[in-house]
Amino acid sequence: MQMHWAEMVSAWASGIKMDTIKKTYKSMVFIENVLVDVAKCRDVNNIVRKKVQGTILTANADFSLMKKFASDIESDREVRMKKIGIIGGMSWESTAHYYTDINREIRRRLGGLCSADIVLHSVEFSHMHDLQARGKWHEAGRVLNQSALTLQNAGVDLLLLATNTMHKVVDVMLEGIHIPFLHIADCTALEIAGEGLRKVALLGTRFTMQEDFYRQRIADQAGVEVLVPQQDQQVNIDRIIFEELCVGRIEARSKKYYLDVIASLVEQGAQGVILGCTEIGLLIQPLDTEIKQFDTAKIHVRAAVDAALM
């Protein structure tokens, strides 16, 4: 059966499910051929065409994204990639991965030489760490507020804070900010909720593990019980973050320690583990645990790209 690409995108825009289209047209190959035709069509704007090419390259059958492509193509309106603002430097070891991973995800989705539109403001971490240690949280929030205002004035369309712990002061940080803010805990809770879990473990700095600004927010939004390590384990986890991971040291003994802690939390019923510090994903890899990992940095990256292409 032959079908013009416009009819196919019309079907998507009308809300016909992908499995229905597959059954009707027998083969995903046919659908992919239609996408190829869309990608080649001169009447389709360039960014939309690249998005479709990215869909072909990744064999992504995500219906909601395809429906979005269809709507863009049919209306032939300009699709503008949003400018992502990142407050980073806490530590720069993980912020560097934010920059790299966002660009890789943009290229994966759009293909070719496409890259992200990013403005990064990196704060001086030793000063921020000193404020944390002295309990000067409001002052730390004011520093981040200046960063956020700088990015807003630079014209960014959405804002990320590339650290878990400093979300403790987001209320202060967001004073005078009128652009969307992607809260790392909200993005993580959304993914956890989609897994249908009852109990998850949380690793992070001692502030993140102990205080409600993070763990209770996850518990409330994901509808799960959040388990944290014992007090002495929290001390060691926090020490490894600041003395090793934040300065680029990846130690085998520290990795074993983290995995032992995770195993002890699994024995308490944890069905997944939140890597609730953006540096922990540098130490613990997906294949290191049998339970589901929620790497907050990677989740945050995907959410940022979703928002930038929305």
Instruction: Give the domain ranges of the chain.
Output: 5-75, 84-182+301-309, 185-296
Q: What is the pLDDT of residue 78?
A: 43
Q: Which two tokens stand for residue 9?
A: 């995108």
Residues labelled catalytic: 163, 277
pLDDT digit string, tens, across residues 123-162: 999 999 999 999 999 999 999 999 999 999 999 999 999 9
Decide if pLDDT at 210 tops 70.
Answer: yes
Residue 80 vs residue 172, higher pLDDT:
172
| pLDDT score, position 1 | 34
* pLDDT average, residue stretch 179-192: 96
Q: Residue 98 pLDDT > 90, yes or no?
A: yes
Residue 303 has pLDDT above 50, yes or no: yes
Nearest to 300 by CA among 163, 208, 180, 120: 163
Q: Among 23-27, 81-85, 224-228, which stretch is predicted with the lowest mean pLDDT?
A: 23-27
CATH 3.40.50.1860 assigned to 84-182+301-309? yes
Q: In the predicted model, what is the mean pLDDT of the chain?
A: 84
Higher confidence at residue 110 or residue 6? 110
C-alpha dist (Å) from residue 273 to 142, 162, 258, 260: 32, 19, 11, 13
pLDDT band at 111 (very low <50, low <70, confident <90, very high): confident
pLDDT of residue 189: 96
- Across the range 253-259, mean pLDDT stands at 98
Flag whether pLDDT at 47 surpasses 60: no
Structure confidence at residue 15 (pLDDT): 47
**Average pLDDT of the segment spanning 247-274:** 97
Q: Would you say 148 and 123 are in contact if contact means Cβ atoms under 8 Å apart?
A: no
Q: Is the pLDDT of residue 212 over 60?
A: yes
pLDDT band at 50 (very low <50, low <70, confident <90, very high): low
Please state, in angstroms and rounded to a whole number, the distance separating the CA atoms of residues 233 and 202. 12
Sign of the dihedral defined by the CA atoms of residues 71, 101, 187, 182, in that order: negative
pLDDT at 142: 98
For residue 249, pLDDT over 60 is answered with: yes
Where does 185-296 sit in CATH, by number? 3.40.50.1860
> What pLDDT is stored for residue 109 in this prediction?
87
Mean pLDDT of the region 284-308: 96
Which strand ranges, in their side-by-side order, compose the sheet holding 84-88?
118-122, 84-88, 158-161, 181-182
Q: Give the residue-averaged pLDDT of 32-45.
A: 51
Q: What share of the chain is helix, strand, coil (3-state, %, to 5)?
A: 60, 10, 30
Which of 42, 33, 40, 53 has its CA nearest to residue 110?
Answer: 53
Q: What DSSP element (H or E) covers 71? A: helix 63-75
Of 60-74, 89-103, 237-251, the one with minimum mean pLDDT is 60-74
The pLDDT of 214-228, averaged and rounded, is 96
Q: Is the pTM of this model over 0.85?
A: no
- 84-182+301-309 and 185-296 have identical folds: yes
Q: Which residue has the higher pLDDT, 122 or 76?
A: 122
Please state the rounded mean pLDDT for residues 167-186. 97
